[in-house]
Amino acid sequence: MKHVNNDSNQSTDRDHADDLVARVRSVRDGEATTTDRLERMLSRIDDVNPGLNAFREVLREDARRHADSIDTRLAAGENPGPLAGAIVAVKDNLCTTEGRTTCSSKMLEHYRSPFEATAILRLRKAGATIIGKTNLDEFAMGSSSENCAWGPVRNPHGVDRVPGGSSGGSAAAVAADCADVALGSDTGGSIRQPAAFCGCVGFKPTYGRISRYGLVAFGSSLDQIGPISRSVRDASLLYEVMAGVDPHDATTSEMPVESPLSDGPLHLEGLRVGIPREHVTDENHPGVTDRFNETLDALRNAGVKIVDVDLPLTHHGISTYYVIAPAEASSNLSRYDGIRYGHRAEAIPGEGLEALYARTRSEGFGPEVRRRILLGTYVLSAGYYDAYYTRALKVRRLIKQEFDGVFAQCDVLLGPTTPAPAFRLDADLDPVSMYLNDVYTVNANIAGIPAISIPGGIAEDDGDALPVGLHLQAPAFAEPLLLRTASALETMRSKA
């Protein structure tokens, strides 16, 4: 299995440290410039991206102009913001005025947004430099980043393995050191699952904590923007910059945004960590089970109180999700008809408008997107709405109540992020098997609670050494508790 070279061609920022905070500090202290850091990242992309396909578009000249402006402001004694010097990659379903916003779909191949997502604007205001747009499963629908109109993304830990999805390009870019951090979107695990497969940190905040304005909609009641990073501290910093109420998104919360790690990592002794029995089963890959059990032993030795809990609706989450999300997708994607938005098929003389619509959408959308549109249209159709969609909404409420009950017994939940490490690109999984990659992550979106995946060690699979993830969940709006716990667990693992 071939790996991306992470040594000889690696950015010299390794001299400073792996995490974003240290890299930004090096720019503020005059040890490096934003321009130098950017050029090293661009060189890195040139070296490794042809083998990874992590980037849909590299915004070279726009990034150079922005980096130069940051260095000019620093030289003048100004404060460009807490992310001055940071190089950020952005999933290509987030609107930017620079470059295109394609959602890795032929439907939007040439689309240029006239506005920027609120999350992007807040990163820029904080001084971050956007280096490029990353590939994804088309319209964020997938768990492997193979459903991209321009070819699959590959995992830096083994280029014959998937990076996970749908934010696979963002996770691969961070894992290959082509960006300090990256933005992803998470509808059912699309930040956390690829972070686990690529050995990164992936954080999904509470629904409504970060504005969805400018995120191309998939499942509007489930979507959330979040960071993929090398450390919990980096994820916390980006969260703090992006979170908060936004008049452009009525679903954002008006609750004040705290600085999650201002008091440092949590002291683990006495913490109540719930272990869902449904997440620790014989069906998990042996390497996932071994790494998870090692973590549990270390937590017990640190004085953590381990609480066995039940989440019996865990395996109903996938079926609930694949009613609600496709239903919302079929509505959100109805606007892409070649008239108002996107690709338009060549008209045939005498052809009616409905036939033109059908050919346009068949040409513009890939097979997974078409599958979900058809499924969503079916569950919303007359005669089936109550049997499927209304029932799924009732189960959604029960899942939320189930989490509320469990969090009365423990402070946070801990389990594996995925049942197995990254699978091979040629695995040719059927749709249901593919969907089950998200069995431990979807319910956090259904319940709207925050969750994070952190690196959980290495598992052997067919002779390959691959990362696996640890998945932490916390009550709604308990980001400080979640991130402090994740940081403490990260520190504990680094000392092991």
Beta bridge partners of 274: 307, 413
From the list 26, 91, 145, 185, the catalytic residue is: 91
Alpha-carbon span 335 to 360, nearest angstrom: 12
Alpha-carbon span 196 to 88, nearest angstrom: 19
Contact of 107 with 127, CB cutoff 8 Å: no
From the list 11, 144, 166, 229, the catalytic residue is: 166
Q: What angle do CA 202, 207, 209 make, to 5 degrees?
A: 85
Going by C-beta distance under 8 Å and a sequence separation of 6 or more, which residues neighbour residue 375? 322, 326, 330
Alpha-carbon span 183 to 90, nearest angstrom: 5
Respond yes or no: is residue 167 known to be catalytic. Answer: no
From the list 11, 143, 144, 190, the catalytic residue is: 190
Contact of 201 with 232, CB cutoff 8 Å: yes
The secondary structure of residue 370, as a DSSP letter, is H
Respond yes or no: is residue 190 known to be catalytic. Answer: yes
Sheet (strand 224-229) strand order: 55-58, 129-134, 87-91, 181-186, 224-229, 201-204, 451-461, 464-473, 412-416, 272-276, 305-309
**Phi and psi of 208, rounded to 5°?**
95, 0
Nearest to 24 by CA among 265, 261, 242, 234: 234
Residues belonging to the chain: 496
Respond yes or no: is residue 145 known to be catalytic. Answer: no
Rounded to whole angstroms, the maximal C-alpha distance in the chain is 75
Strand runs (DSSP E) across 19-157, as ranges? 55-58, 87-91, 129-134
Contact of 15 with 30, CB cutoff 8 Å: no
Catalytic residues: 91, 166, 190
